[in-house]
Structure 1
């Protein structure tokens, strides 16, 4: 089995096109097609489905894709670690941080700590609404990710970091402003125009679940993924939003928006660090993981986030 064939196969899946993959790999398309045919012969399985729209993997192709990514990443790690000759930690470590979560607020602190303590490591940080981080960790596309929920999910392990409550972010002149610090009940939000992320985001899922359990419908007027747009929209009085404190506190505009505690029910979510179950961690990855865990704990304690509780693996 030639590792280059597996690398080419992964590229085809990532690009979704044999011809475009051939261009990127600087390989003639017939030669790349022949490599694919050799893989299908070796595994005695059809790996790709061709159409006018490109190519999509079969079930067998997806399984090979997952294993191929693991093997390629392991080879890259071996090359890096052997070349370093036991010197300072080097290599690339990729970390996924869920948007609209406490994970995203850790990105700058993590970057600073890694640059100061592990200068030989290239840190790859990503925040995406579209990607499913647990799958990316399981297949080796990410070394780790901070996600919401604590599993179980086959192929990944979870380390609980914190449990955080969600809060209402409202325009300064909203009807709730006269209450001061008094909590707002979820049932009072049925007529409130809400600006929320799309359905597939964890914040939206938790909000949908909370409203459904109270048997009431949220009044959603827009779905917003850009945090700066959400900040400006609430400050302009266009609508309200619901976010974890770690994010809600960051988008407040003094004199134009404020945070209110939510009750009946409390909307709450676990935050966990997700790592692969079957792919061995590198020394660099372990070092970054330890920094990330300590940063999460110290940030909660030092900033005294309301409604946020530090957790550990035994909780």
Structure 2
């Protein structure tokens, strides 16, 4: 397998067409097609599905795309290291994060790493929680943030963050707001005990799950973790969910509830995307029972972290702490510093 083949493959995937990629690479299309077929033969699996409108990557092709980008980056870094000599931490680190959390957390993390460790190259896998877990189990990521996965074979898993679930949606007539109640002053015993690890709780209205389940809901299918959790709560209470729209695409769900087509269940990390208050928009904490998501920080077990991975881990934890302390993330930090994995001591 040659680096040139990887570059060609990446160009085809990003262009979505062999002809467009050939033009961008200044390569004859038959030669490019032959290179892709040769690469597929070496890997023993098709990387693209061909049609009259272009090419689309297979599941194996999408996975190989992430690996190929990292390989090319490592090769480039190797050349730069030999040319400029040593100076500061460097390496490649892949982080796998659920996509709802990625938009809140990864911007601050990557921006800070760019300043503090410019030679560390960070690759991100942002996907469904099940795919994040799969990436960690298959060792395609060095650090993962898992959802409600406390015990995973082959992984060192630490409780990281706990966040509440909310009902969000357009409440033009205020009918749903009338079903809510303000939280009891002084907060619960749990939140009092944990104030050292969380910002002062936002005074949001609360809605019993039984009432939320009867609202017209826009939800993803049962294979998604939030829907599965909501289904379990409904089953425990003997309730049936009032599903108005069901789509797998998170963007479609967001578009629907922003258009007033129904309400959705949202974790705290995603409620910052809601419209400003005072515009007939409801955000209410779900209670009776309280729904919550717990995130776990995962690394490969039986393997100490190298210094670059530990540096990324430290920034990830520190930026999480800042987001929670500032109130930008209505969550509770569970991780203690002494629980963090140790480094190997190798650069």
TM-score, normalization by structure 1: 0.67
CA contact 2:161–2:331 (8 Å) conserved in 1:
no
1:125-144 alignment runs, 5 A limit: 125-129=124-128, 132-144=131-143
Aligned CA distance change for structure 1 residues 108 and 307 (closer, same or farther; 3 Å): closer
SS at match of 1:249: helix
2:164 maps to 1:160: no
Residue 121 of structure 1 deviates from its aligned partner by: 2.3
Aligned CA distance change for structure 1 residues 158 and 220 (closer, same or farther; 3 Å): same
SS at match of 1:132: helix
Aligned CA distance change for structure 1 residues 293 and 85 (closer, same or farther; 3 Å): same
Instruction: Please give the alpha-carbon distance, in whole angstroms, between the structure 1 residues aligned to 2:289 and 2:123.
Output: 37
SS at match of 1:106: helix
- Cα deviation, 1:128-182, whole Å, max 9, x if unaligned, reads 2386112212223222222212431112222221111111113366353775668
Which position in structure 2 is the counterpart of 1:57?
Answer: none
CA contact 1:231–1:251 (8 Å) conserved in 2:
no
1:82-101 alignment runs, 5 A limit: 86-101=86-101
Instruction: Please give the alpha-carbon distance, in whole angstroms, between the structure 2 residues aligned to 1:306 and 1:253.
Output: 16
Which position in structure 2 is the counterpart of 1:169?
Answer: 168
Instruction: Please give the alpha-carbon distance, in whole angstroms, between the structure 2 residues aligned to 1:230 and 1:118.
Output: 41
2:255 maps to 1:229: yes
Unaligned runs of 5+ in 1: 1-72
2:245 maps to 1:246: no
Aligned CA distance change for structure 1 residues 130 and 168 (closer, same or farther; 3 Å): closer
CA contact 1:161–1:297 (8 Å) conserved in 2:
no
Aligned CA distance change for structure 1 residues 258 and 120 (closer, same or farther; 3 Å): same
CA contact 2:95–2:143 (8 Å) conserved in 1:
yes
Kindly report the root-mean-square deviation, in angstroms, between the aligned alpha carbons of the 2 structures: 5.0
Instruction: Please give the alpha-carbon distance, in whole angstroms, between the structure 2 residues aligned to 1:197 and 1:115.
Output: 35
CA contact 2:164–2:290 (8 Å) conserved in 1:
yes
Instruction: Please give the alpha-carbon distance, in whole angstroms, between the structure 1 residues aligned to 2:74 and 2:259.
Output: 45
1:1-315 alignment runs, 5 A limit: 86-101=86-101, 103-129=102-128, 132-170=131-169, 171=171, 174-176=176-178, 179=181, 183-222=206-245, 223=247, 224-226=250-252, 228-230=254-256, 232-234=258-260, 238-255=261-278, 256-277=280-301, 281-303=305-327, 305-306=329-330, 308-312=332-336, 313=339
SS at match of 2:144: strand
Instruction: Please give the alpha-carbon distance, in whole angstroms, between the structure 2 residues aligned to 1:134 and 1:263.
Output: 28
Higher mean C-alpha displacement, 111-120 vs 248-257: 248-257
